[in-house]
Amino acid sequence: MNAPESLPDAATLRAMKAQGRKLVMLTSYDASLTVHCENAGVDVLLVGDSLGMVIQGHDTTLPVTIEHMIYHCACVARARRRALLAVDMPYRSYETPEQAVANARRLLEEGGADMVKLEGGSAILPRLEALRDAGIRVCGHLGLLPQSVEELGGYKVQGRSSEDAERILADARALEAAGVEMIVLECIPAALGRRISESLAIPTIGIGAGPDCDGQVLVSYDLLGLTPGRRPRFSHDFLSEQPPGRGIADAIHAYVLAVREGRFPGPEHSFE
């Protein structure tokens, strides 16, 4: 594994937010794509359980196992040089505090990750606190939760009612208090994304959560126009915009610049 000499700690991530420096996150599942992400200046590599859909061909992320995540995380870790490496804990891999810690340790020790990402709010606080107490860095995930898509009734925007918005905001504050270092906000109204971001000292990473989050994340296959069929509204094909003779590396670089300069996401990628 190629661990960088130094990685941004929680205090550094908070300082980046305070300075208004946008964090750029992108999914990667293999060594080759990781090299391009590193060269483009991506801050956080996310080995997402989205691999279940874009690589394995499933309709949801639910069939992905901890062994799948370890394998792909290790592939990324071998090529990673400087970016923070986060990895999703897959469905049913953190049902108890003990299971969460055991599987997170596998992702760090066997997969080479620096941080694990869990979906959920106040209901998973005991698991988050156990990870914190074990010295394991955590990224949260609120809003649309792909691992709970069946309970949510499909891939729908969350937090549109005042009651749901308040619940998501309360969950974000609870996650911050539990030691989570950053939170991915998926498919929520832009106004709620701004409100949550302004309420926290830790960075928010948006995906369909408006332009006012402290950073952005995309599924790399969406960014490169590889995902078949209809892609989410919040995605953008940066590769198709490249002039002749340019390719994947240029598309990733364009994404990084667009996020850093506040040009992505635009209104067309956001929800009201």
Give mean pLDDT, residues 130-134. 98
Structural domain includes residue 212: yes
Local structure of residue 210 (DSSP, 8 states):
-
Number of neighbouring beta carbons within 10 Å of residue 259:
25
pLDDT range class, residue 251, cuts 50, 70, 90: very high
Share of the chain above pLDDT 70, in %: 97
Q: How many structural domains compose the chain? A: 1
pLDDT at 132: 98
pLDDT range class, residue 104, cuts 50, 70, 90: very high
pLDDT at 217 > cutoff 80: yes
pLDDT range class, residue 89, cuts 50, 70, 90: very high
Q: State how far the Cα of 41 lies from the Cα of 24, in Å rounded to an integer.
A: 8
Structural domain includes residue 221: yes
Phi/psi for 215 (5° steps) reads: -170, 180
Listing DSSP states for 89-140 in one string gives PPTTS-SSHHHHHHHHHHHHHTT--SEEE---SGGGHHHHHHHHHTT-EEEE
Q: What is the pLDDT of residues 223-248, one digit of tens each?
A: 999 988 888 899 999 999 999 999 99
Give mean pLDDT, residues 204-223. 98
pLDDT at 29 > cutoff 80: yes
Q: State how far the Cα of 28 lies from the Cα of 73, in Å rounded to an integer.
A: 9
CB of 186 within 8 A of CB of 204? no
Give mean pLDDT, residues 156-181. 97
Element (H, E) at 142: strand 137-143
- CATH, residue 64: 3.20.20.60
Structural domain includes residue 198: yes
pLDDT at 199 > cutoff 90: yes
pLDDT range class, residue 155, cuts 50, 70, 90: confident
Structural domain includes residue 199: yes
23: β partners: 215
Structural domain includes residue 104: yes
> Identity (one letter) of the amino acid at 17?
K
Radius of gyration of the chain (CA): 17
Give mean pLDDT, residues 67-85. 97
pLDDT at 4: 65
Residues carrying an active site annotation? 186
For the record, the structure tokens of 162 come out as 């005042």
pLDDT at 54 > cutoff 80: yes
Structural domain includes residue 77: yes
Q: Which domain holds residue 47?
A: 11-269
Which residues have CB under 8 Å from 202's CB, separation 6+? Answer: 10, 13, 14, 17, 176, 180, 181, 182, 183
pLDDT at 154 > cutoff 90: no
Q: State how far the Cα of 251 lies from the Cα of 224, in Å rounded to an integer.
A: 7
Rounded to two decimals, the pTM is 0.96
Structural domain includes residue 2: no
CB of 259 within 8 A of CB of 215? yes
Query: For the chain, what percentages of helix, strand and coil (3-state, to nearest 5) are there?
Result: 40, 15, 45
Structural domain includes residue 5: no
pLDDT at 3 > cutoff 70: no
Give mean pLDDT, residues 202-229. 96
pLDDT at 229: 83
Strands 204-207 vs 137-143: parallel, antiparallel or unpaired? unpaired
Using alpha carbons, select from 101, 95, 72, 94 the residue that is nearest to residue 85.
72
Q: State how far the Cα of 150 lies from the Cα of 50, in Å rounded to an integer.
A: 16
For the record, the structure tokens of 37 come out as 């992400």
